[in-house]
Structure 1
Amino acid sequence: MIEVMTDGEDALSATTPRAGAERVAQVRLSTGYGEFLAVGYLDRDRGDEQIALVYGDVEGDGALTRLHSECLTGDSFGSNHCECGDQLSAALRAIVAAGRGVLVYLRGHEGRGIGLLAKLQAMQLQAEGMDTVEANLALGLPADARDYRVAAEILHDLGVCSVRLMSNNPLKRAALVEHGIEVGEQVPLLIPPREENISYLRTKRERFGHHLPHLDRTAGGA
């Protein structure tokens, strides 16, 4: 539960952390999208530092929610190889427009959980003709090593019972349900493809089952 105190300071009600998610800090964060409450967590199981950006009252049911996997190249450097940076911006704008919601930014998810250096190696293999799944497997790594346990723990801690999940990935929905967060609606987060990432997006659709119907409207869409 999040309470806004009358003196302008933020206080979080005392709750017992679930499993590995320990709430450590909270502060008002003014951004180009709006003012969020940034809530910091330590994943005691993995040692990762996590953050949730909370907008409005998210307790109970129906909060617009994005589980965003860390992507340094896309989120920070604006890489056109993926749509991650655009999805991050679109999700924050959508949450503010909805008046309430939460974005859980998942550290340790770089390259679908294989890490930054391995991700760069996989990108090199993709430049040589492999798709993203083939590249990860060629490196002896899983196609997708992400775990959404801590995201569900953070949502539980924030008092979120059910969500409107902004995602094209059916695995995210299944993971939240598995960890006790109901998904009332899955909201598409579709970014217009670029020449640089159209093959990557097709692989996400064909190999991971992402719901990307807008690719059919793209010239040459598979």
Structure 2
Amino acid sequence: MTESDGVFDVGTQPSGVERVVNVRLSTRYGEFLAIGYRDLARGDEQIALVHGDVTGEEALARLHSECLTGDAFGSRHCECGDQLSAALKAIAAEGRGVLVYLRGHEGRGIGLLAKLQAMRLQAEGLDTVEANLALGLPADARDYQVAAEVLHDLRVRSVRLLSNNPRKREALLRHGVGVSEQVPLLMPPRQENLAYLLTKRDRMDHCLPHLDAVVQRT
């Protein structure tokens, strides 16, 4: 992948996304190239943060689902904000990698207002899966096709995937992006999010082995 005057020469665009703008972005984690996309199917605006040359094989990658409460407001009821920071630090330290920030994934795809309603039900005793289902919504409505299309646009053939969620790996493989390794992104649990994390482990198959020691102590 080459850059000339801030524009990547990456060949033919995938049919599902339109690359709109590239701009250098200096962050507390390092220097990134922010690439803005439009999802042509849904109309969502998407963004990828690229560090170094990610073309070819085994780029470090994170598919990060939008989480306003965790990413922006620092909610202690999930680990999303912690994972976002850890992923950007890891990519910068690696020297090459990409974080695809997936808009439209709020509340595992049910939207912000429904997510807040689900949080209220969780405060009343339901777990995160039960709360979504009680609202008549899927436990997880996310789709990762647009993430795969962004990676194809960046000429990423395979990734080392920063994720605890096996469904992200399965989705990338299904959409033609290789996954050479799934790299755990394990955040220390807190009292406020332990039940949430245990539900992700026990009911959604997330790989969270570090919780075993916590459960044994309680």
Q: Classify the TM-score, shorter chain.
A: over 0.9
Taking the aligned partners of 1:73 and 1:131, their CA distance within structure 2 comes to 18
Contact 1:50 1:106 in 2 (8 A): yes
Deviation at residue 36 of structure 1 after TM alignment: 0.2
2:102 maps to which residue? 106
Change (3 A) 1:90 1:206: same
Of 184, 197, 200, 1:204 maps to: 200
Aligned length: 218
Taking the aligned partners of 2:45 and 2:3, their CA distance within structure 1 comes to 24
Contact 1:132 1:200 in 2 (8 A): yes
Contact 2:10 2:155 in 1 (8 A): no
Deviation at residue 4 of structure 1 after TM alignment: 3.2
* CA RMSD of superposed structures (Å): 1.2
1:18 maps to which residue? 14
Matches within 5 A, 1:114-193: 114-193=110-189
1:47 maps to which residue? 43
Taking the aligned partners of 1:142 and 1:136, their CA distance within structure 2 comes to 6
Contact 1:215 1:221 in 2 (8 A): no
Change (3 A) 1:21 1:196: same
For structure 2, the 5+ residue unaligned runs are none
Taking the aligned partners of 1:221 and 1:136, their CA distance within structure 2 comes to 30
Of 57, 63, 67, 1:71 maps to: 67
- How does the TM-score come out when normalised to structure 1? 0.96
Flag as ranges the 4+ runs of structure 1 deviating above 3 A. 219-222
For structure 1, the 5+ residue unaligned runs are none
Deviation at residue 19 of structure 1 after TM alignment: 2.9
Deviation per CA, 1:138-179, whole angstroms, max 9, x where unpaired? 000000000000000000000100000000000000000000
Taking the aligned partners of 2:175 and 2:153, their CA distance within structure 1 comes to 13
Question: Which secondary structure state, in structure 2, belongs to the residue aligned with residue 112 of structure 1?
Answer: helix
Taking the aligned partners of 1:14 and 1:83, their CA distance within structure 2 comes to 34
Question: Which secondary structure state, in structure 1, belongs to the residue aligned with residue 210 of structure 2?
Answer: helix
